[in-house]
Structure formats: C-alpha cells, structure tokens
Amino acid sequence: MPGYDQITESVDHLFRRHAGQMTAVLTRIFGFGKIDLIEDAIQESMLRALSHWSYKGLPDNPRAWLIQVAKNNILDRLRKSSRDADLEEGSRLLDAWARSAGSSVDTAFEKEIREDQLQMIFACCHPALTPDSRIALTLKTVGGFSVGEIAVAFLSNKDAVAKMLVRAKKKLRDEGARMEIPAPSELGPRLESVLKVLYLMFNEGYSASGGESAVRTDLCHEAIRLARLLADHPLTSQPKVHALAALFLFQASRLPARSGEGGTLTILPDQDRSLWDRKMIAEGLRHFRSSASGSEISDYHLEAEIASYHAVSEDYGSTDWRALLEAYDRLLERRYSQIAALNRIIALAEVEGPDKALEELQTLADEKLEAYYPYHVTLAELQRRTGLGEDALRSYEFAAGLVENEAVKRFLRKRREEIGAKGSEGV
C-alpha cells in the first residue's frame, strides 16, 4: 500500500490536473450561483481522498473517485435545501459525466470538456469584473490555483486576493453570468483577459512559487493546451493567440533541462540544450509564423520573439543578445513592466557588460522589486561578475529569505557555497 507522502502527491496531481475540468462541468450544470458550493465540494473530495486512500489504497480510477465524491457532496447539500428545482436534472447530467470520466473517454466527450473549459474561462473574464478580478477568478476556478499562488502572481497578499475573489463571485451571480464564448462583437476585451490568465498560469508552472520542484510541468502543459484550443477555435484564432502559443512552446521546450537532479533549478547558461524539446520549438515556430498574419503587434509577439532567440541558439554564448536587447526595448516602449525591465538587464549585461547592467539594475529598485526574489538573484549574479563577492553573498541570502520553493532555495545555497569557497576569484 502506498505511503502517505505518495498518496498526497497523487491527490495533489489529480486535483491540479482535473479541478478546472470538474469546476467547468459542474458550473455549466448548476450555474455561477452555486460556484462556492461547487468549489467546496471539489476541495472536500481531495480532503476525503487524503484520508480514505491512506487506509484503503489508491482506487482503480482515482479521477472517477474524486468526481463521484464531489458529485455526491453537491447533491447531498442540494437535497437538504429541498427547494432546488435543478436537482433532478443535475443528478442525471452528473451521473452521465461520472460514467464518462470513469470509462474510456470518447472523442465527443473530450470535445465537450474542452468547450466547457473555454466557456468557463470566458465567463470568468466577464466585462463587469475588473481586469485583476477576471484573472484571479480564472486562475482559481479553471487553473486550480491557491489564493497564495495568485497573490504571488499579483505581487500582492493573500487577504487582498481572497477579498477580490469574494467580490468577483458575487458580481458574477448578480450579473447572471453564463457559460458561453462571447459573440465576435464582444470578444476583444474578454480575449485579452483570457490570454493574461494563461500567461500567468504558464509563468507559475515555469517558475513555481512553492513546493519541492523548480517547475510545475502540469501547469505549463495545461496553459499550452488551452492556448492551442484558442488558436484552433475559429472565433479566437487571432495573431496574438498564436504569438502566445509560440511563447509558451519556446519556453516549455527548455523544461527537461530547467529542473535538474532532485528538482533543483538549472538556470539558462547551465542548461544542457540537447535536452530541449525540438518538436516543441518547431511547433512554436509554426505558431510564430501564423502570428505574423495581419498588422497587429502585441506584447506576446515581442515576448515570443525574445524567447525565439534563445530557442534557436546552439548555446548560450551564440545567442543574438543585441537583437534580444532591442526586442526588450521595443517591449518596454509599448508597455513598461518591472519584470520585463528586470529581464532586460540580463541581456544588457551580455551586450554592454555587467558593470553597466549593475548600474541600471540599481535604478529599478522599489518596494515591489525589493520583495521579488529574482531581483535579488539578478543583483547577486551581477555583483558576482563584477567582483563584489561579499555583496553577492548577502544578496543571495536575502533572496533565499523571500523564496518558498525548495528547489530554488537549493540553487541559492549552491551559489552561495560556490562564492564562499572561491571568494571573488574567477567572477
């Protein structure tokens, strides 16, 4: 019988993978008026699995077990209310869902699930909500993000995010939000929010905020899957959608080399590029070419261009850093972002040297970046390269205090040990 740690890992994986699917299907059936009930039932299914499976072992079909528990939880609560007119129809549809999920799923059913999830994303991006509320709600309901993970994505705190989610759900109930893809005339603003949601979902997977591993491949692949759905759908197959898909694929191609032994982070200069997924790069290039149709240039186009320079380079040294730096400059001219400005510093160091990069980096510092560990990692790397070994040690130590991810902590400890052993020699 598997141990508790293995059970916890299995439940967490299943929950992360299927929570969005379960939420989308149940919300389509019962509506946004019962979104809190639906989320509670899905969470309860995970908690019960942790308890039940520890004693009974993993069931033959864990996903079907979770769905069945969530279904029964919802129906029990609705029966207690005794006045819910949708109970009989909901029970019938949920039984059909559970049967399909518990057996070999056919193509039609998979298509229905895909459509449900796209509709759920668009529903969460309702125009009555503020842009931040749309993103936070979608990450929570479709992506299975915790409040803490959303807070990291927003560079905010848990209390503020929790209050935002409560307000967003109430607003959707008041507006009578429906599960549907908007008409073309209403699609533009909603699509922008959807793309931002997928962007944040991918980023959390690519640089996991917590846990033992440096990456969460399931989140990255889920964001890619949803981006592909948008790229393939006739209403949403737009240049910026293809650009976002290209960006994801270029970045995800590095995942096999990004996480080393024991899940430890491996940064770009140290990655074994023979491990990069060339099929993903080729698919990314196809989407990048598709993104060139029409006259639209979005932030995603420029970010995909930046990622493409890395993807097609044979090694770190042969990267076209000057072209990459120019792409960052165009991106910042379009829309200033502290994160983009921080990433630009890395390219600047390769083009104009670490001294110039360190000088510019120090002009970026503010309250938000001071609480953002990659800022301190970048600062430490530049201090190391400019011979400021003691300063680099302090910056790495400060960064470690901001990190919850164990893989990143191991990486930072290793860097500090290297500097401590060599002093400033060889920087």
Quick: pLDDT tens for 15-65: 666 787 788 877 877 777 888 888 889 888 888 888 887 777 777 777 777
According to the model, what pLDDT value does residue 296 have?
Answer: 85
Is 90 a domain residue? no
Comparing CA positions, the residue from 195, 221, 206, 197 lying closest to residue 283 is 221
Asked if the structure places residue 399 within a domain, the reply is yes
**Which one is predicted more confidently, 123 or 87?**
123
For 311, the token pair is: 């993807």
Q: Give the mean pLDDT of 370-391.
A: 92
Is 41 within a domain? no
pLDDT in tens, 178-229: 777 777 777 887 888 889 889 988 887 788 666 556 677 877 888 898 899 8
* CATH number of the domain that residue 369 is part of: 1.25.40.10
pLDDT band with cut points at 50, 70 and 90 for residue 91: low
pLDDT at residue number 211: 58
Task: Report the pLDDT value the prediction gives residue 106, as an integer from 0 to 100.
Answer: 41
Q: pLDDT class for 405, splitting at 50, 70, 90? A: confident
Is 395 within the bounds of a domain? yes
Lowest-confidence range among 60-69, 78-87, 300-309, 397-406?
A: 78-87
d(C-alpha 231, C-alpha 366), whole Å: 38
Q: Judge whether residue 1 has pLDDT over 50.
A: no
Judged on CB neighbours under 10 Å (0-12, 13-18, 19+), 295 is exposed
Instruction: Please report the pLDDT score of residue 109 as a whole number.
Output: 47
Indicate whether 57 belongs to any domain. Answer: no
**pLDDT number for residue 96:** 54
| Residue 254, in any domain of the structure | no
**376 contact partners, CB below 8 Å, separation of at least 6:** 395, 396, 398, 399, 402
In this prediction, residue 425 carries a pLDDT of: 47
* Whole-number pLDDT of residue 303: 97
pLDDT of 108 reads: 41
Residue 21 lies in a domain: no
* pLDDT grade for 11, boundaries at 50, 70 and 90: low
pLDDT attached to residue 13: 63
Output the pTM of the full model: 0.77
Report pLDDT for 34. 83
In a domain, 187, yes or no: no
Which structural domain range is residue 381 located in?
Answer: 337-427
Q: Tens digits of per-residue pLDDT, 110-150?
A: 566 667 888 888 888 888 898 888 888 888 888 777 888 78
Percentage of residues of the chain with pLDDT beyond 90: 37
Domain count, the chain: 1
Report pLDDT for 272. Answer: 93
Answer with the residue of higher pLDDT: 107 or 204: 204
Give the C-alpha separation, 118 to 142, whole Å: 9
Check residues 385 and 153 and name the one with the higher pLDDT: 385
CA–CA distance, 222 with 398 (Å, rounded to integer)? 33
For range 337-343, the mean pLDDT: 93
- Res. 102 pLDDT band, cuts 50 70 90: very low
Q: How confident is the model at residue 107, as a pLDDT?
A: 43
Look at residues 197, 194, 291, 188 and name the one whose alpha carbon lies nearest to residue 247: 291
* Average pLDDT of the residues of the chain: 83
In the chain, pLDDT over 70 holds for what percent of residues? 83
Predicted confidence (pLDDT) at residue 353 exceeds the cutoff of 80:
yes
pLDDT at 105: 39
Whole-number pLDDT of residue 10: 58
